[in-house]
Structure 1
C-alpha cells in the first residue's frame, strides 16, 4: 500500500507528551516526602503500585491504565498515546506506546489503545490522535496509511493527482508506475503520464503492466502492430491481425487467382480474334460495343461516386479520428474497391514480410510500369494511320488516363503518409500509417527522399499533365463557346459548340484520346477535370501538412469543401443537368461528413452508448444519399418521359398525317435516349452526343422548346 501523509504531519509522541499536564514532583516537607501536582497534594502510606482514594486509608492496586512509581505517591495516569492493561504497575515504563494504526486520545485508559476509524491513520507508535487522511484519499479501520481513492494517483513528487482519461476508475491505491489502464488505452512506459487511446479499443486490454497492454496478436505503439506469426489485414482502426494458418494462405491464393483471372480477361480481349474466331469475335465486339455505350452514359456518375469515396476513405487517417465502427468498415470497404486497394484485404504478411515501405514501392512503381507498357504500346501504333489503329491508340490513352484518375488519390495519400510521424512523450517517433516503422532511422530518411520524388511525379505531375494536354488543345475543345454565347442564346451556343467539338474529333482523330478528361463537360469548361483533381488532392494528401490532428485541420477541409460546392453550383459544368445536380448532392454529403468529423474532433458526440449508435447509423446511411437521389431522379425523369410520349401520341391522333410524321420523328429521337438522365438535356444536344442530327422539322417542334436553362427556371 502506498503510504501517504497529510499535508500537516501527524503529532509525534514527544509533541504529545509536551502537551500533557505538568507531571507531579516530590517536595521535602519535614520528615515526610509528598507528591505534588498542580491540582492537589496526596499524602498516603501506600506501597509502590498502590494508591488510596481521597479520604480513605485503605490502599489498593493501581487500576489498568495507571501506575504507582513509589511508596506513598499514589497512582498516576499513563500519558496520551500510551496504555497499560495490568493492575498494580509500579513504573511508567510499563505504559506501552500505542501500536501503529491505533491511538490513545485520553490519559489513564483502562484498556488497550483505540483503532483509527475509517478515514484516519496512525503511521507510527504512540499517537495520541489518528491523523486525518488527505483529500482524495481513503483508509480502512486500523490503517497505518491512506491510499488514493479510485480516479487519483500519487505522482513522483508525492502529490495526489487526478488520473487522466484512460485510467481505470474503479482501482485505488495507485502510483504513477502502477497506473491501471482501462481497456482501449495505452502508454509508452510505466513512467509516462500521457495516456493515449488505441486506434482500435479491442486491441488494448489495459492493466498495469506495460508489457501486457495489448491483446493477443497485437504489439507495438498503440497496439497497432501485428505480433510475430500474425498478418495484418486493413490499416488504422480497421487493422486486424490474423494468425497465419492454412486459411490465411488460402485467402492469399484466392486473391492471386482473382488477379490472374483479370489479367487473363485483359489478354483475351487483346487477342480476341485469335482466341474466339471471326464468328464469335463479331458477337463479342457487338456486346462490348453496347456495353461501352452504356458505360459512357453513366461514366460521369461513376466518376462522381469514385471521387467522393476516394476522399472520405482517408479522412480517419488524415484527421486522426476514430469514426464509428459501422461507418468505418463500410467506407473502408468501398474505398478499397474504388481505389483498387485489394492488397490491404489480403494477409500477405503470412507469405512474406510486409510493411508500409513495401506497399509504398508497390503503389508507386507498379503504376509506372503499367503506364510505361501502355504508352509504349501507344507509340508503337503511332505510324499506323488506319482507323482501327487510331481507335486502338485512343482507347489505350483513355485507359491510361482512367488509371491515373483511379489511383492518384490513394497513391498521393500513400506518398504523403511517409511524412506523417507520431511523436511520443519518450522521444520515440513512429509512422502513423504503420507503427512498426521508426521514423528516427536512416532507412526512413531514404524513403522520405523517395516519397519527395513521388510527390513531384504523382500529386504534382499528373494534374500538370492533365492541364498541359487540355490547354494545348483548348481551341479544339472550347470551340469559341463563350464567344458564341455573346452572339446567340445560351442553348444555341452550347449546341453549336458541341457540334463543332464533335467535328474537331472527326478531323483530329487523336483528340478523342482525351475524352475521359473533357467529354462530360460543356466546351467552355474543358479545364474542369483539372479543378476536380486538385480538389481531391487538397482534401486527401495535402491535409497531412495542415495542422495535423487538430480541429483546425477539419475546419480547413470544411472551407475547401464549401468553396468547391460554390464552384459546382455556379458553374454547373456538366452538359447534363442531372450530373450537375448529382455532383452538388455529393458535395453536400461530403460537407455533412466533414461536419460530423468536426463534432467528433471537439468531443461534441460525448453522449451515451445509445446516442453513439444512432450517430454511427446516421453517418453510415448518409453515405448512400447520392444513390438514393440518383434512383429517385431517374424514376421521376422516367415518369416525365412517359408522360411526354403519351402527350405526343395524343397529338398524333388528332393532328392528321403531317403531325403524325412529326410525332414519329420525335419519337424516334426519344427512343434512342436509353439513359433517363440524358433526356433532361435538350433533345438536339443529346442527339449530337449520339452522333445523330435532328431534322429541321424536329428542331422546330422540340429542339429548343425544353432547354437546359429553361428547366432550371421551371
Structure 2
C-alpha cells in the first residue's frame, strides 16, 4: 500500500501534468505524508528565502545526518551487547530509507530535468550538478545496494529451501514448512529481526523482492523526470514500465498472503489507469477539446479509482474480522455444549465392595461429578456417595472422605496409590 501511494503521490510532479483539482489536492496530501516531504509541510517561507538548490541540500543532507547518528547509536548498542535495542535502531534506519527514497530521488533527478538559462551562474550550477550526481550514488544506487547486500548475506537463513520443500510436499505444505524453518532460524539468529522490514511480508524464496520493488519505485518516480517532463513519450514509457512490473507481480505472487498478492496486482492496475488518464489529458490539451464539464467528470473518476484500493483493504479487514468472530463463536458454543454434557461413554459397570466402577471409552478425567475434557488420560472411574474416583495411568485418584478405607483398600488391591 505504501509503495503504491509513494508512486501515485509524485505522478503530478513527475509528468508535469495539471490533473483535475480534486485529484491534485488528494495526491498532494498523499505525497506530503507518505513520501515524508517535511519541508513542504513547514512554512519556511516566513523564516528564510529558499530556492530549489537549498531544498535539494535539505532533502539530501537532513536524512544523511539522521542516518549517521542512527548508525553510531547502533554501533554503540551492539558493542555493549544490547542486541534487541541495536536491532530496533537498525530496523528503523531501514524504514527511514524506505520512506525518504522516492521524494529524495525526485529532487535529485529534477536537477537534470531543469531547463538551463545563461544567467552568469555557470560554476554555481555546475557545483549542484556534481553534488546531485554524488547524492544519486548515495541514495538512488546506495540504498537498493544496501538492501541487496544485507539480504544476500543472509540468504541461506531467509530461504531455507522453499522450492525443494514444495517439490517434496506440495506448494502449500512446502511454504508452511519453509516459514516454520525461517521462524526457528530467526530465533537462533537475532540479527535477522533488524531486517524483517525487508523480507517479512514475502515468501522465503522471494526474500529479495523488496530490492525489485525499490528499483521499480525509483523508475516510476524520479526516473521519469529525466525522460522529459510532460512529453507523450515519457507517459508512454511510464505505462510500459507499469505493465512490465504488473507482469512480474502477477507471475511471481511474492507475498505470503494471497490477499496481499491480489491487492498488489490491483494497485499496479490503478497506477496504469492514472498513467492512461495522464495520456488522455495530454492529448486533450493538445487538441483543445476538453471542456469544464468533462474535466469535472474526469476528476470524479480519477478520485474514485484511487479510493478503490483502500476500500478493498477495508472490506478485506472487515471480512477477516467477521470470519474470526464466527470461528470464536463456534468455539465458545462447542465448549459450552461440552461443559453441559457428561462427556463420558461407558463400556460397562462393575461393583467392587459397594463402589461402582465405570470403564470409559474416552480418555477423560472425571472428578466432582462432571467431565473435565482438558485433564488427562483417565481410563476408569468409580463413584461412591456422589464422590468420583478416576483411574489415571494405573493410579486411582480419590476425592472426598466418603470413600474412606474402602476406597483405599480397593486401590491397594489394584496396586495403585491414592
Q: Same fold (TM over 0.5)?
A: yes
Task: Give 1:587 shift.
Answer: 1.4
Matched with 2:259 is 578
> Is 1:450 paired with 2:143?
no
| Aligned equivalents of 1:470, 1:344: Cα separation in 2 | 34
1:699 is aligned to: none
CA distance in 2, matches of 1:608, 1:600: 11
Within 2, Cα distance between the matches of 1:480 and 1:391? 27
* 8 Å CA contact retained: 1:326, 1:620: yes
Q: CA deviation at 1:331?
A: 0.6
Match of 1:487 among 147, 164, 168: 168
Q: What residue is the counterpart of 1:600 in the other structure? A: 281
1:382 aligns with 2:65: no
Q: Is 2:335 the counterpart of 1:639?
A: no
Write the distance in 2 (CA, Å) between the matches of 1:459 and 1:595. Answer: 27
Q: 1:644 to 1:382 in 2, by over 3 A?
A: closer
Match of 2:406 in 1: none
Q: 2:104 aligns with which of 404, 411, 418?
A: 411
Structure-1 residue corresponding to 2:21: 325
| Match status 1:621 vs 2:317 | no
- The 5 Å alignment of 1:164-313 reads 304=1, 306-313=2-9
Q: For 1:598 and 1:493, how far apart are their aligned partners in 2?
A: 44
Q: CA RMSD, aligned part only? A: 2.5
Query: C-alpha distance in 2, partners of 1:638/1:369?
Result: 43
Of residues 516-525 and 604-613 in structure 1, the stretch that sits farther from structure 2 once superposed is 604-613
Give, in whole Å, the separation in 2 of the partners of 1:492 and 1:404: 35
Following the alignment from structure 1 to structure 2, what is the Cα–Cα distance between the partners of residues 542 and 490?
37
**Cα separation, partners in 2 of 1:620 and 1:660, compared to 1, 3 Å:** farther
Could you tell me how far apart the structure 1 residues matched to 2:76 and 2:86 are?
9
Per the alignment, residue 553 of structure 1 pairs with 234
User: Partners in 2 of 1:439 and 1:477 — Cα distance?
Assistant: 55
**Number of the residue aligned with 2:414:** none
- Residue-by-residue CA offset, 1:442-496 (whole Å, 9 max, x unaligned): 2111100100000111011100110111001100000111111111121221121
Matches within 5 A, 1:422-433: 422=115, 428=117
Cα deviation code 1:553-582 (max 9, x no counterpart): 111111111111122122221112222222
Q: Which residue of 2 aligns with 1:352?
A: 48
Rounded Cα–Cα distance in structure 1 between residues aligned with 2:279 and 2:363: 61
The change in CA–CA distance for 1:376 and 1:660 in structure 2 (over 3 A counts) is farther
Give deviations 1:383-436, integer Å, cap 9, x for gaps. 233xxx10001000000000000000100001111111236xxxx47xxxxxxx
Asked whether 1:516 is paired with 2:192, we answer no
Residue 336 in 1 paired to residue 32 in 2?
yes
Aligned to 1:29: none
Q: 1:439 to 1:539 in 2, by over 3 A?
A: farther
Gaps of 5+ in 1: 1-303, 430-437, 666-714
1:527 is matched with which residue: 184, 208, 212?
A: 208
Shift of 1:440: 6.0
Q: Whose relative contact order is higher, 1 or 2, with alpha carbons under 8 Å and at least 6 apart?
A: 2
Mapped partners of 2:219, 2:292: distance in 1: 34
Max Rg structure? 1
Instruction: Report the CA distance between 1:523 and its aligned residue.
Output: 0.7
1:394 aligns with 2:87: yes
For residue 574 of structure 1, give the secondary structure of its aligned residue in structure 2.
coil
1:439–1:620 Cα change, 3 Å: farther
SS of residue in 2 equivalent to 1:546: coil
Partners of 2:120 and 2:257 in 1: CA distance: 49
Distance 1:641 1:345, change over 3 A: closer
Given the two structures, how large is their TM-score scaled by the length of structure 1?
Answer: 0.46
Secondary structure of the corresponding residue to residue 562 of structure 1: helix
TM-score calculated relative to the size of structure 2: 0.77
Q: Distance in 2 between matches of 1:372 and 1:624?
A: 38
Partner residue of 2:268 out of 567, 587, 592: 587
Counterpart Cα distance in 1 of 2:126 and 2:43: 27
Alignment of 1:27-176 (within 5 A): none
Do the aligned partners of 1:412 and 1:537 also contact (CA within 8 Å) in 2?
yes
- Structure having the higher helix fraction is 2
**What CA distance in whole angstroms lies between the structure 2 residues aligned with 1:439 and 1:468?**
44
Q: Give CA deviations for 1:123-166 in whole Å, capped at 9, x if unaligned.
A: xxxxxxxxxxxxxxxxxxxxxxxxxxxxxxxxxxxxxxxxxxxx
Structure 2 CA distance, aligned partners of 1:332 and 1:660? 65
In structure 2, how many angstroms separate the alpha carbons of the residues matched to 1:625 and 1:503? Answer: 38
User: Contact 1:418–1:448 (CA<8 Å) still a contact in 2?
Assistant: yes
- Deviation (angstroms), 1:313: 2.1
* Aligned partner of residue 115 in structure 2, secondary structure: strand
Query: Contact (CA 8 Å) 2:10, 2:27: kept in 1 or not?
Result: no
Which among 313, 334, 358 is matched to residue 630 of structure 1? Answer: 313
The Cα of 1:640 is off from its aligned counterpart by: 3.2
For residues 182 and 328 of structure 2, the distance between their equivalents in structure 1, rounded to whole angstroms, comes to: 31
Counterpart-to-counterpart distance in 1, 2:330 and 2:130: 67
Contact kept, 8 Å, 2:284 with 2:290, in 1: the verdict is no
3-state SS of the aligned residue for 2:284? coil
**1:635 to partner: Cα distance:** 2.3
